[in-house]
Structures are given as structure tokens and as C-alpha cells.
Amino acid sequence: MEQQVQTVVGVLPMSQLRYEMKEFTEPNVIILAREWHYTGADPQVLDRIAVMESEFIKRDVWPTILCGHSIAAKV
């Protein structure tokens, strides 16, 4: 049975989705994001996506803290 994926426009089959990974590098944080796009042809879904601000219908984010905070002691 095909995997189903929860998105903001409903639950869709994996075969109608594609995703791309993006990486943002910051001084103390690396952020990985996975943006999902619809590749199907259902006009109802396409109509809903057309009025959305962003093209992606699902986005996962993983910020990784590279280095936390340090408190320096002084004598």
C-alpha cells in the first residue's frame, strides 16, 4: 500500500509529491529543511495551492545548534 503524507492541503499519496532538501548555514546553527511539492493533477488540490503564499505544501525543519552558550567565570 502506498505511503500517505499529511500536508496542509490534505493527505496525499507519496507518488504525487516530490521534495527537495535545503540547507542554511549560520554562525552557530545549521538548518536543514525539506520542502514538499505537489506533482499531481487534481484540480481541487491545484486550486488550493494556487491561493497559498508558498509553493510547498509541507515543510520539515531541523535546526542543529552547533555550539551552545558559554558563561565565563572571572576571578
Can you give the binding site for another protein, defined by CB under 8 A?
A: 6-8, 24, 26, 29, 31, 33-34, 36, 54, 56-73, 75
Q: How far is the CB of 15 from another protein (least distance, A)?
A: 18
- Give the residue with the Cβ less far from another protein, 1 or 11: 11
Q: In the complex, what is the shortest distance from the CB of residue 53 to another protein, in angstroms, rounded to a whole number?
A: 10
Phi then psi dihedrals of residue 45, to 5 deg: -65, -45
The strand pair at 17-25 and 10-13 is best described as unpaired
Q: How far is CA 18 from CA 53, 67, 70, in A?
A: 19, 33, 41
